[in-house]
């Protein structure tokens, strides 16, 4: 690449990344390649609306754009997280259509484009991430940016039927057509994206598989995201954190690690753990405890507050019914945990529950597999609706809507013979290694550098 790499995402890390798959993956990728990462200022209302502010840099530069209280409410909490997030995660019932949200979303994208355009040379590569910035390439093209611009959607691509709940359903296709490359997590997402273009009379399919849309062509491909498995495994092998965290001894540990998001299927997970405990009541099977680490997220959105209340109610009820003086079956921690501690906890856990109702990839599934001792690995219980399930077919795949099936999967995981655990783990580990985050970034950027040139560099309407 002769120019520089410019990465744009709403969230940028302030120190070491904590929770959120996008930041964790891109931090690893940019640490290796260098470049500049542009994102929203971590402190709300900080910085200048008309310039980019330099913030603490390390292996790469970080530039921040300002978000006012109004932008935060209407662009971030509003259009991004109360329209696009539920739309893409199969929760059309939670979509809140609002003209103010839409105006702020378009306004922030137009302003970020204005601030960025003068910094982008024709040989640079621009890589834009996630649903906060769908219209950003349209805006950059309007300002004459000719550099290659790629997009990666970290969350599921919505089905055509869900797109029709947007105020202007055709916007999605027009926004995406201003990119040279649209990268998605799974083959299923690619099929959904192509279905959207197929249904759009403005789009035409070319013989090389690209989509022609007005005067541009866009390539659509899946690039399953991953992690740096070796460094995660190394962190996991450090001494056991049991003492420092006070994890119950004498009980098999089952772990869950998720932002407290309604898409993660946490109430059903807790219910399934309760059903598993019911199934063991009166037996002499060893005790098992669920450790759920769930930092709060987007708490000003009502649906996120509701899920927190619901979970507290379920875990309180289950602990009330099952706890004993020396044993609390569900431990529920509402905060972020150091990545090194997390890695060691994964290694200690006999099973990991990933029960998303919809999920772009789910990095927790990959982290859990990477952290295991290959000689004595724990078992990953994985929702069929997480992107990771497309390739991790030897995990214990479950339907997260089926409480009894998940309860049975917990029992199966905790009693699985070692040979079967090793065989399943070896397969999952191969998948995790094949999707190493560096290779993921290289293949997206390699594809962006070589994908067919656009037909014309004029702006899309
Ligand atoms: P999402 O991107 O929807 O949050 P992922 O599973 O893809 O879901 O990514 C979540 C990332 O955030 C993982 O790297 C995970 O380790 C990290 N994470 C989630 N919860 C915590 C937590 N409580 N403490 C530290 N890291 C967390
Ligand atoms: C998911 C999204 C990211 C987002 C992250 C955390 O991983 O794909 O774009 O950054 O969740 O959410 P937040 O709203 O806190 O940035």
Burial of residue 385 (number of CB atoms within 10 Å: 0-12, 13-18, 19+): buried
ipTM above 0.90, yes or no: yes
- Give me the residue label for tokens 């601030």: 115
- Residues 205 and 166 sit within 8 Å (Cβ to Cβ): no
- 258 CA → ligand 1 middle, Å: 5
Domain ranges within the chain, ordered by starting residue: 5-226+437-450, 229-434
Atom of ligand 1 nearest to the CA of 297: 4
User: Given this chain, do its domains 5-226+437-450 and 229-434 carry the same CATH topology?
Assistant: yes
395 contacts: CB under 8 Å, gap ≥ 6: 365, 379, 380, 381, 382, 388, 389, 424, 428
Task: Kindly report, residue by residue over 16-36, the tens digit of the pLDDT.
Answer: 655 566 787 788 778 877 789
Q: Is it the case that residue 178 has pLDDT exceeding 50?
A: yes
| Closest CA to ligand 1's atom 19 | 19
Task: Kindly report, residue by residue over 203-230, the tens digit of the pLDDT.
Answer: 999 988 899 999 899 999 999 999 999 9
∠ CA 356-360-365 to the nearest 5 degrees? 60
5-226+437-450 is classed in which CATH architecture?
A: 3-Layer(aba) Sandwich (3.40)
- 457 CA → ligand 1 middle, Å: 39
Q: Is it the case that residue 455 has pLDDT exceeding 50?
A: no
Rounded to an integer, the average pLDDT of 274-284 is 94
Crossing angle (nearest 10°) for helices 21-33 and 363-371: 70
- Residues 144 and 117 sit within 8 Å (Cβ to Cβ): yes
Residue 456's pLDDT is what?
A: 42
* Per-residue H/E/C for 136-156: HHHHHHHCCCCCEEEEECCCC
Q: Is it the case that residue 301 has pLDDT exceeding 60?
A: yes
pLDDT band at residue 336 using 50, 70 and 90 as cut-offs: confident
- 130 CA → ligand 2 middle, Å: 9
CA pair distance 343, 231, nearest whole angstrom? 10
Residue 16's pLDDT is what?
A: 61
- What the block records as the tokens of 86 is 């539920």
CA pair distance 385, 402, nearest whole angstrom? 12
Task: Kindly report, residue by residue over 343-353, the tens digit of the pLDDT.
Answer: 999 999 999 99
Q: Is the pTM of this model over 0.90?
A: yes
Q: Is it the case that residue 233 has pLDDT exceeding 90?
A: yes
- Residues 42 and 10 sit within 8 Å (Cβ to Cβ): no
Residue 347's pLDDT is what?
A: 96
Catalytic residue among 124, 258, 261, 359: 359
The highest-level CATH class for domain 229-434 is alpha beta
């Amino acid at each position: 690449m002769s120019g520089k790499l410019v990465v744009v995402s709403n969230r940028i890390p302030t120190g070491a990344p904590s929770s959120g798959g996008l930041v964790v993956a891109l931090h690893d990728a940019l640490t290796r390649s260098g470049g500049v990462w542009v994102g929203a200022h971590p402190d709300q209302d900080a910085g200048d609306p008309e310039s980019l502010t330099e913030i603490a840099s390390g292996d790469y530069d970080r530039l921040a754009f300002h978000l006012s209280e109004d932008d935060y409410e209407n662009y971030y909490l509003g259009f991004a997280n109360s329209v696009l997030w539920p739309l893409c995660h199969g929760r059309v019932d939670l979509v809140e259509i609002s003209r103010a949200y839409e105006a702020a979303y378009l306004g922030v994208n137009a302003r970020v484009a204005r601030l960025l355009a003068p910094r982008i040379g024709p040989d640079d590569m621009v890589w834009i991430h996630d649903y906060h910035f769908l219209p950003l390439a349209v805006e950059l093209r309007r300002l004459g940016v000719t550099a290659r611009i790629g997009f990666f959607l970290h969350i599921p691509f919505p089905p055509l039927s869900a797109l029709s709940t947007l105020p202007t359903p055709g916007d999605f296709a027009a926004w995406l057509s201003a990119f040279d490359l649209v990268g998605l997590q799974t083959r299923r997402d690619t099929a959904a994206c192509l279905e959207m273009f197929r249904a759009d009379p403005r789009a035409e399919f070319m013989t090389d598989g690209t989509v022609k849309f007005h005067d541009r062509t866009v390539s659509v491909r899946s690039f399953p995201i991953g992690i740096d498995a070796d460094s995660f495994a190394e962190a996991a092998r450090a001494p056991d954190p049991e003492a420092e965290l006070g994890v119950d001894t004498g009980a098999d540990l089952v772990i869950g690690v998720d932002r407290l998001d309604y898409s993660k299927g946490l109430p059903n997970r807790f219910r399934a753990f309760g059903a598993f405990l019911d199934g063991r009541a009166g037996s002499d099977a060893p005790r098992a405890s669920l450790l759920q680490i769930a930092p709060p997220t987007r708490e000003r959105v009502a649906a996120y507050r509701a899920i927190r209340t619901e979970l507290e109610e379920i875990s309180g009820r289950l602990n009330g019914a099952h706890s004993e003086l020396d044993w609390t079956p569900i431990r529920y921690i509402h905060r972020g945990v150091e990545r090194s501690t997390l890695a060691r906890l994964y290694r200690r856990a006999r099973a990991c529950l990933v029960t998303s109702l919809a999920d772009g990839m789910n990095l927790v599934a990959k982290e859990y597999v990477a952290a295991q001792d290959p000689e004595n690995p724990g078992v990953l219980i994985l929702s069929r609706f997480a992107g990771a399930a497309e390739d991790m077919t030897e995990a214990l795949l479950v339907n997260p809507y089926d409480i009894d099936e998940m309860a049975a999967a917990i029992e199966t995981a905790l009693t699985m013979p070692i040979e079967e655990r090793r065989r399943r783990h070896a397969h999952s580990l191969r998948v995790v290694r094949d999707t190493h985050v560096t290779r993921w970034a290289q293949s997206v950027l390699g594809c962006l550098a070589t994908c067919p040139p656009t037909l014309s560099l004029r702006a899309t309407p």
